[in-house]
Chain A
């Protein structure tokens, strides 16, 4: 764009983030969800509801969300729901931990192995580590994912 006042913010707002922020993927309600959770950054006004549909083998068959928030939080939720499909809860938790490291430090030395491609898809969000007040925007979706998965575990244990 012209003007240039904000050109150096392209590291934070990479095109993929602006794109997912404007047109979030998996932005819908799953009426037959097996677990749901709400995420809220009350100070900021980011709010989301996450829906997970589990496959018979225990992996995440489908993930979707609804909500309102900044470009970072919406893009993060969009990318998160895309990348956790097909993962087991343990893998999803691992990705969640790794993503937090990525968001807080900008790098993730242990993001190799069988999740390397997924973590690369999330890498555009690593720019938030330079913006301490924005890290929680990026991690909200993953906190909500953990809550949804833990909620399911609790339900399972109560049976």
Chain B
């Protein structure tokens, strides 16, 4: 099995970096299989944020004094870390936001209302998180933009023929799709989607909230116009997200929020916007969170994204070898290219009952519709449980889940 030369990582040492993983739940070892909702934090992230607050904190871009200059430098260093992490061409293409949701809303407002014209269309897919659906519905209703939904196949993969059909009339201004489904685990062929969008004269946005955590993403290789991800799923803090956008697009877009820090000059009559990225960072930004995100990026890069991807690939293989074979378990989606996210239903029990039982075994999974209600309707299931893996997940935890599911089914028979 392990014949190929996969990059290795020291799982025990990694787990020791995450204090919460040594907690117990109801007397059982804590088996955290909900990293897709929000990941746990290593000491390196916690420490970096505490150190900043204890030794180097002040507001950024404002004070002509040592601490503020130091904080500004740390904040901008985080931007450069994100630039490297995404292989963006220019650090000015990295905008800090509050979350992925904020980042998508920024694009929907600024690019959607400011650059797109009524009568144009946005294409999303059937497997979008509500964060990449609702902002476009709001844009549709406010600005006369048509919203098109590209189908997915029964295997849970993007139907590329349908996408091509939806692009065919040349009215599409933006394709906004997930890079990895938060329910199905499907990884979409982003470079191909970008090419299809560009050939149809459209820009492309990827919701990388899940994908950026699990594999190396490269803005220049993907030729992405917009890409969003969030800190808290990448082992960093809540309250910080990232919008990557090509500099030329950002230059052409009007600001989203107005306020301090996003202006070059203000009089009572008018204001002149600051150059990018400042134009899109009104108000005091998430400074401490940016330092935490920087530490998180350093953390995953020290391990190496290829090693993380290989580790998670092994976990996915293990899960695929076990979960579909448990009697009564239905897995949503069977994409060829997938990451460590598994949504499943049990024939004898509702997702909530299953989650309550698993919790008794110390296993944390999400239950419900995972902010993807239309996707559940697409597969005609009311709700599912979702197990999602992180870089600290062990093969034994996958087995524990599989064993507990078998017992849960018996419990409700």
Partner-B contacts on A (CB < 8 A): 1, 3, 5-6, 8-9, 12-13, 18, 42-47, 68-73, 131, 134, 137
Contacts and interface: CB of A to CB of B under 8 A. Distances in A.
B274 interface: no
Contacts of A68: 350, 382
Q: How large is the interface on B (under 10, 10 to 19, 20 to 34, 35 or more residues)?
A: 20 to 34
A1 B368 contact: no
The 5 closest A-B pairs by CB, nearest first: A45-B383, A70-B350, A70-B352, A45-B382, A68-B382
Contacts of A72: 352-353
Contacts of A47: 382
A6 B352 CA distance: 15
B109 to A, nearest CB: 25
Interface of B: 349-353, 356-357, 360-361, 367-369, 373, 376, 382-383, 404, 407-408, 410-412
Contacts of B407: 3, 5-6
- The binding surface of chain A is classed by DSSP as loop
Nearest to B27: A8
Contacts of B351: 44-45, 70
Given A42-B373, A45-B376, A5 B361 contact: yes
Nearest to A4: B407
B356 A131 contact: yes
A44 B360 contact: no
A6 B361 contact: yes
A8 B373 contact: no
B384 to A, nearest CB: 8
A18 B412 contact: yes
Contacts, number: 62
Contacts of B350: 45, 68-71, 73
A42 B353 CA distance: 16
B383 A6 contact: no
25 contacts: A3-B410, A5-B404, A6-B357, A6-B360, A6-B361, A6-B411, A8-B360, A9-B360, A9-B411, A12-B356, A13-B411, A43-B368, A44-B351, A44-B367, A45-B369, A45-B376, A45-B383, A68-B350, A69-B382, A70-B349, A70-B353, A71-B349, A72-B352, A72-B353, A73-B350
A88 to B, nearest CB: 33
A72 B352 CA distance: 9
Contacts of B383: 44-45
B352 A1 contact: no
A47 B352 CA distance: 13
B368 A45 contact: yes
Nearest to A3: B407
Nearest to B381: A45
B115 to A, nearest CB: 33
